[in-house]
Copies of this chain bind each other. A is one copy, B any other.
Amino acid sequence: MGRWEPGAQGRLQLAALELFAKRGYSAVTIADIAEAAGLTKRTFFNHFPDKREILFAGAGAFEESVVNHLRSIPHDVAALEAVVQALSIAGSELARYREFSILRRDLIALNVELRERDLVKMVSLTDAIAVELLKRRVGATQASLAAQIGISIFNWAYDKWISGNDLDLSELMRTTLFDVRSIVDVVAT
């Protein structure tokens, strides 16, 4: 797998991550980031609306990818199965951003502002998945719950995936799905 070769946007992201890791997210200004990337503040604002968004630039593309993969899965595949498949494929495509993902996760854990933004992005993704499921004629309750459970599975598996070595995201998702089943199956009827 090739290394990530960044353009202006990528250079700003890398510079930002290095500075955030060194000084802490709050202490770094947009001017610092632009300078470290050898670019101007103006260029920064051509790529990102604010400092927070530098860590979430991929969220829109990822959501689009998940939705596209979900659309390509036959309608006779059950809702949660389809969600898990779509997230597995879209997630696996992020393999080259693994290093970025680890740094990003650790920064988000330390800063409430970033955590808030991350949660909002996750809700947006969850809603987009639920909307796709509705189009597949899944009922409203099932669509919302399958999207939420799928995202819970993804978050758990993705975190293991970027932390571990040589694990396959699809397999981790599958294992986590079995964990969900074992949790749900023992509930009283």
Contact = CB atoms under 8 A, between A and B. Distances in A.
A22 interface: no
A80 interface: yes
Given A156-B144, A186-B78, A180 B149 contact: yes
A125 to B, nearest CB: 13
B187 A78 contact: yes
Interface stretch (A30-38, A67-75, A115-123): A115-123
A178 B186 CA distance: 12
A157 B32 CA distance: 47
B79 A183 contact: yes
- Give the oligomeric copy count: 2
A81 B188 contact: yes
Nearest to A78: B186
Contact of A145 (B145, B183, B185, B187): B183
A149 B140 CA distance: 17
A179 B148 CA distance: 13
Contacts of A80: 183-184, 186-187
Contacts of A176: 141, 145
Interface in A123-173: 123, 141-142, 144-146, 148-149, 152-153, 156
A188 B174 CA distance: 10
Given A115-B120, A149-B184, 20 more contacts: A78-B186, A78-B187, A80-B186, A81-B187, A112-B120, A116-B117, A119-B119, A119-B123, A141-B156, A142-B183, A144-B156, A145-B153, A145-B156, A149-B149, A152-B152, A177-B187, A181-B184, A181-B185, A184-B184, A185-B185
14 contacts: A80-B183, A112-B120, A116-B116, A116-B117, A145-B152, A145-B179, A145-B180, A148-B149, A148-B152, A149-B180, A152-B152, A177-B187, A181-B185, A185-B185
